[in-house]
A = this chain, B = another copy of it.
Amino acid sequence: MLITEFEELDKRYRANLINSVSGFKSANLIGSINQKREVNLAVFNSVVHIGANPPLLGFVMRPLTVPRHTYDNIKETGYYTINHINKDIYKQAHLTSAKYNKEASEFEQCGLTRQFLSGFKAPFVEESIIKMGIKYVEEHHITANDTKLIIGEIELLVCPDAYIKEDGYVNIEEAGTVAITNLDAYHKTEMLDRLPYAKL
């Protein structure tokens, strides 16, 4: 099938279609906190590698037409955490996308445990095996649809030694990290190959 008239598609159909075709997505929970020490936790499938030196990650924030606690908290404190979603917690992680009243945090309402580590300001997810403390660096407003790219620097990385190989490669598959397609499908993986540096 060849599709070109995207504006003529049913809105939900189009959302599923376009959210599927970018390929597999990273599965992360972003933890944040405001000045009143109210914590927030939200699933994000748009975390992307920006660079290794300095260590930078980006993620895409949807338009600020409704309250976005993650964004507000990051702007307020300058810090957040990125926590891998693994096979044991993907159902709880997915629940963070539900609508909440603000009486309790997503941590409690989804059955995940907030964890403060090593003096880092923002909360981690205890059940995540691989997790990072991030310092906000810069943001870019995407004119085409009012989204934002948020960029931060990794200040702290937690990862069990067993998953870090001799050359620095982290086997996130062994750690049970999952991948996402669309907004709702979770996948485990099986490594086909780790290929040598490409030479002809």
Binding site for B on A (CB under 8 A): 1-4, 6-7, 9-28, 45-58, 60, 84, 87, 90-91, 94-100, 109, 117-118, 130, 132, 137-138, 140, 142-145, 147, 149, 151, 153-161, 164-165, 167-173, 177-179, 181-182, 184-200
Contact = CB atoms under 8 A, between A and B. Distances in A.
A13 to B, nearest CB: 4
What copy number does this chain have within its complex?
A: 2
Contacts of A24: 24-27, 172, 177-179, 189
A187 B171 CA distance: 11
A46 B182 CA distance: 16
27 contacts: A1-B158, A10-B168, A15-B53, A16-B169, A17-B168, A21-B157, A22-B57, A23-B25, A23-B26, A23-B28, A23-B177, A23-B179, A24-B24, A49-B60, A50-B142, A50-B145, A54-B144, A90-B192, A94-B198, A95-B198, A100-B200, A109-B200, A140-B149, A169-B182, A184-B194, A185-B193, A186-B195
A46 B48 contact: yes
Contacts of A160: 1
Contacts of A48: 22, 25, 46, 48, 60
A19 to B, nearest CB: 6
Given A13-B168, A26-B23, A49 B142 contact: no
Contacts of A173: 181, 187
A86 to B, nearest CB: 11
Contacts of A185: 169, 191, 193-195
Contacts of A151: 142, 144
